[in-house]
Amino acid sequence: MSADDAKKTDSSTDKSDDITFRKPESQDGSRVHKLISECKPLDENSVYCNLLQCTHFADTSVAAEMDGDLVGFISGYIPPKQQNVLFVWQVAVHEKARGKGLAKRMLAELIEREESTDVQFIETTITPDNEASWGMFRSFAYQRSMPTEEFILFDSRIHFAGEHNDEYLLRIGPFNRDEA
């Protein structure tokens, strides 16, 4: 993504909407599952997995609501041996909430939380064809002048028996807490 493309992506952020952010709760599990199923090309997990994301990982996940509807969700966690990393598992934005910079706003919400005080890096995995995710994360990094690096973490042939695309690890940071 060029600097001009990143600027265009940033300019679509409209904070005047009525979207609210909060930590997910167990009651959100089935709603999260439905949202993710409507956000292709995201991989669907079981409802049980989504329940765990909403309970065990609530401090590092965010739910976004508009008019009582769940329109956005980020699941993440801090890896046990990497206390300075927030690993973003999935980012889902409902069609009716797209074009508002919601994904980047949810990500900013996560790194501004007290639970993320020690976080200096954001990591995620993305398939090569998921242009929306690449664009969002690169724009997020560009907006905050944070460096990025990427490499294949899970190889299609080795890890997925050829039944899934490569998953690239994208690492953003380190970042300045004052600019996060």
Where along the chain do its domains lie? 3-18+73-172
Indicate the pLDDT class of residue 19, thresholds 50, 70 and 90: very high
- Res 3: pLDDT: 41
Which bin fits 173, alpha (ψ -120 to 50), beta or left (φ > 0)? left
Identify whether the C-beta of residue 105 lies closer than 8 Å to the C-beta of residue 143: no
Q: What's 3-18+73-172's CATH class? A: alpha beta
pLDDT at 112 over 90: yes
pLDDT at 16 over 80: no
Read off φ and ψ for residue 142, nearest 5 degrees.
Answer: -60, -45
pTM for the predicted model, two decimal places? 0.85
Quick check: helix, strand or coil at residue 13?
coil
State the first-to-last Cα distance of the chain, in angstroms, to the nearest integer: 20
DSSP letters along 36-88, please?
HHTSTTSPP--HHHHHHHHHTTGGG-EEEEETTEEEEEEEEE--TT-TTEEEE
**What's the whole-number mean pLDDT along residues 66-83?**
96
Looking at every residue in the chain, the average pLDDT score rounds to 88
Cβ neighbours of residue 67 under 8 Å, at least 6 residues apart? 18
- Res 175: pLDDT: 81
User: CA-CA distances (angstroms) from residue 160 to 45, 115, 126, 155, 169?
Assistant: 16, 33, 14, 7, 15
pLDDT at 180 over 70: no
- Res 52: pLDDT: 96
Indicate the pLDDT class of residue 160, thresholds 50, 70 and 90: confident
**What's the whole-number mean pLDDT along residues 74-93?**
96
